[in-house]
């Protein structure tokens, strides 16, 4: 049996918000906009959203304090603002961090619940409807049922997972990503690549998810040489990256992620390494781990990326990431124990033991 579910209306193209503003009144009458601190103001996305709302006489308030890898504290502040202002629509603009904070704010605006209840994904009231405007090309959060929150209680990331937080509309205008700094472009592209690759190499993969995963990987394969050289990316290349990230999001919405993401969370939580970079640091050894039993699948991923083998991928990633962070043996044991508890570990094509996870950390990052 195959289930494929993607309820988001996806609108792609330059000026797509302004040209489709008519869709907004059906979703709400007062909006809460959720963004990070700066980029939404400088890349034009916040301006376009405000203008679209204004033209449709929808008043808006803004919560613009979302930092990277947000915790629920931030989402609670945004939800409080939504309640004060009687907002009935949440519009997230930004990378995965503001989009995920917007999703959780939409839940908390209608449900006064503690973190434990939140992470158990049981809400009595429907969350407010969500619109997503991605401004990085990486997380695919604009089409997923996930919101990742930093959770100090488990010293990692916890997910909120609910079909009710899948955005109703995703507006993808690549012009917002045109001035993304090179390191953010590289890191987020590696996040998208890890989504597509993990989805393809997942026990939950289906024919349809794999078909989409390979198309995402193919698009990324075309862009990676440009990212490697540091060349300026034009609008077409930016749109390729944004749609590759979208497709990879559609994939993980069906399959979830796997051990690679589970390992990456500790690098982000304890070492403050950006999410996509964390996945990138571990990507080659992860494929090496899967290779003996799953040679055909791994080689399909590499071939679709236009790479000849794992050594080729390692070279590419070394160029993309520069000097690697290092971790100690003590950190390896601690991080591996945490990774083993992650909910995405069982989806890995070849189930890893703690020793396997330790081995992957060691091969990539030991001092």
Residue numbers of the site for Fe ion (CB under 5 A)? Answer: 191
Residue 77 burial (C-beta neighbours within 10 Å; 0-12, 13-18, 19+): middle
> Which residue in 24, 27, 69, 160 binds ligand NAP (CB under 6 A)?
69
Q: Specify the residue, 139 or 162, whose C-beta has the smaller distance to ligand NAP.
A: 139
Q: With CB cut-offs between 5 and 8 Å by kind, which of Fe ion, ligand NAP, none does residue 288 bind? A: none
- Enter the tokens of residue 132: 């997503």
Question: Cα(308)–Cα(164) distance, rounded to whole angstroms?
Answer: 42
Residue 168: DSSP 8-state: S
Q: With CB cut-offs between 5 and 8 Å by kind, which of Fe ion, ligand NAP, none does residue 72 bind? A: none
Stretch that binds ligand NAP, among 6-14, 174-182, 208-216, 342-350 (CB under 6 A): 174-182
Of the candidates 126, 113, 103, 123, which has an alpha carbon nearest to the alpha carbon of residue 34? 103
Shortest Cβ distance from residue 104 to ligand NAP (Å)? 10
Kind plus residue range of the DSSP H or E element containing 267: helix 259-271
CB 248 within 8 A of CB 195: yes
Question: Cα(274)–Cα(13) distance, rounded to whole angstroms?
Answer: 28
Shortest Cβ distance from residue 193 to ligand NAP (Å)? 12
Shortest Cβ distance from residue 220 to ligand NAP (Å)? 15
Q: Specify the residue, 146 or 171, whose C-beta has the smaller distance to ligand NAP.
A: 146
Shortest Cβ distance from residue 26 to ligand NAP (Å)? 24
Shortest Cβ distance from residue 281 to ligand NAP (Å)? 14
Shortest Cβ distance from residue 311 to ligand NAP (Å)? 27
**Rule CB under 6 A: is residue 146 a binding residue for ligand NAP?**
yes
**Rule CB under 6 A: is residue 119 a binding residue for ligand NAP?**
no
Instruction: Work out the number of other CB atoms within 10 angstroms of the CB of residue 297.
Output: 18
Shortest Cβ distance from residue 221 to Fe ion (Å)? 19
Q: Specify the residue, 238 or 277, whose C-beta has the smaller distance to Fe ion.
A: 277
Of the candidates 295, 250, 264, which has an alpha carbon nearest to the alpha carbon of residue 190? 264
Stretch that binds ligand NAP, among 15-23, 49-57, 145-153, 329-337 (CB under 6 A): 145-153
Question: Cα(337)–Cα(189) distance, rounded to whole angstroms?
Answer: 28
**Rule CB under 6 A: is residue 258 a binding residue for ligand NAP?**
no
Determine the number of helices (DSSP H) and then strands (DSSP E) in the chain: 15, 8
CB 284 within 8 A of CB 317: yes
Question: Cα(192)–Cα(207) distance, rounded to whole angstroms?
Answer: 19
Shortest Cβ distance from residue 88 to Fe ion (Å)? 30
Return all residues near 232 (Cβ < 8 A) that are at least 6 apart.
none
Binding mask 309-348 for ligand NAP (x = CB under 6 A): ----------------------------------------
Q: With CB cut-offs between 5 and 8 Å by kind, which of Fe ion, ligand NAP, none does residue 100 bind? A: ligand NAP
The DSSP result for 192-220, as a single string, is HHHHHHHHHTBTT--HHHHHHHHHHHHHH
Residues making contact with ligand NAP (CB under 6 A): 36-40, 43, 68-69, 94-98, 100, 135-136, 138-141, 144, 146-148, 157, 176-177, 179-180, 184, 188, 191, 275-276
């Amino acid at each position: 049996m195959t289930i494929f579910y993607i309820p988001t209306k996806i609108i792609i193209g330059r000026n797509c918000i302004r040209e489709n503003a008519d869709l907004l009144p059906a979703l709400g009458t007062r909006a809460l906009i959720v963004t990070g601190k700066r980029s939404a103001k400088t890349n034009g996305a916040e301006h376009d959203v405000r203008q679209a709302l204004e033209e449709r006489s929808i008043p808006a308030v803004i919560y613009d304090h979302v930092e990277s890898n947000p915790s629920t504290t931030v989402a609670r502040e945004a939800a409080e603002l939504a309640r004060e202002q009687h907002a009935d629509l949440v519009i997230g603009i930004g990378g995965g961090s503001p989009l995920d904070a917007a999703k959780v704010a939409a839940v908390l605006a209608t449900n006064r619940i503690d973190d434990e209840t939140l992470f158990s994904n049981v809400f009595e009231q429907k969350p407010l409807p969500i619109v997503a405007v991605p401004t990085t090309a990486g997380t695919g959060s604009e089409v997923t049922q996930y919101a990742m929150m930093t959770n100090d209680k488990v010293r990692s990331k916890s997910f909120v997972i609910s079909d009710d937080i899948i955005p109703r509309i995703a507006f993808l205008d690549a012009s917002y990503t045109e001035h993304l700094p090179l390191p953010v472009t590289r890191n987020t592209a590696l996040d998208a690549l890890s989504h597509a690759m993990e989805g393809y190499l997942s026990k939950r993969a289906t024919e349809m998810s794999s078909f989409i995963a390979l198309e995402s990987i193919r698009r990324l394969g075309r862009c990676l040489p440009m990212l490697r050289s540091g060349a300026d990316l034009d609008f077409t290349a930016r749109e390729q990256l944004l749609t590759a990230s979208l497709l990879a999001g559609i994939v993980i919405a069906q399959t979830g992620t796997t051990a690679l993401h589970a390992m990456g969370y500790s690098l982000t939580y304890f070492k403050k390494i950006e999410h996509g970079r964390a996945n990138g640091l571990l990507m080659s050894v992860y494929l090496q781990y899967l290779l003996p039993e799953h040679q055909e699948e791994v080689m399909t991923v590499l071939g679709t990326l236009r790479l000849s083998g794992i050594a080729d991928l390692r070279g590419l990633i070394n160029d993309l990431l520069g000097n690697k962070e290092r971790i100690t043996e003590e950190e390896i044991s601690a991080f591996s124990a945490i990774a083993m508890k992650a909910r995405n570990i069982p989806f890995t094509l070849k189930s890893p033991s703690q020793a396997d996870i330790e081995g992957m950390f060691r091969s990539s990052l030991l001092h």
